[in-house]
Amino acid sequence: MILALKEQSRVYIASDSIFYDVGDLYHNHSKIWQCGQEQILMAGEGDPNVIEYVRRDMPFIGDTLTREKCSTYMHSIKEIFGDDSFGKMRWSFFIGGNGKIFLIRSDGFILEVKQFESIGEERNVANAVLNVTHELDPDLRIRTAFAEVIKCSTKTGGNIDIQFI
């Protein structure tokens, strides 16, 4: 599970630390990383080969986020791993920085996140909690959302990593 939240000009990305790879369960796996010297945070969920390749060899380059740059980046990933027309290699990434967050997915979907969004199992639960806790501080909103998701899910848990930029 990965959450992204905007609070004024600050961008928060948070994830659990459980990672599945072909049926194997791994704990304490960070899903969030900073791209080089850039003020850009990324987080990914989905096909482990895609996530690790992007994390290791394909950082988002640039200090400004735009829909066009995210579209170009998404198409670069698709050139390497192919089209996801049949859902074989699904992946999703949050890219956040400069007060903006974008969600890109293997099916070609691009969304500029206006307030908050979640990806992963039980994303609807997380989004509902983020919606009703809008008056709380971001850290408490995120921790509350994860607490509720963990109650409903067998694939979410471990340490909660919250990063902001």
Across the chain, which has 165 residues, the per-10-residue mean pLDDT values are 93 86 64 86 90 91 90 94 72 94 94 95 93 95 94 82 90
Question: Residue 38 has what pLDDT?
Answer: 74
Q: How far apart are CA 101 and CA 13, in angstroms?
A: 9
> Structure pTM?
0.90
Write the CB contacts of 22 (distance below 8 Å, at least 6 apart in sequence). 48
Range of the domain at 8: 2-164
Residue 151, classified by CB atoms within 10 Å of its CB into exposed (0-12), middle (13-18) or buried (19+), is exposed
Write the CB contacts of 75 (distance below 8 Å, at least 6 apart in sequence). none
CATH of the domain at 80: 3.60.20.10
DSSP state of 121: T
Q: Say how many domains are in the chain.
A: 1
Residues 30-68 as b/e (b if ≥16 CB within 10 A, e otherwise) read ebbbebeebebbbbbbbbbebbebbbeeebbeeeebeee
Helix (H) or strand (E) holding 57: helix 48-57
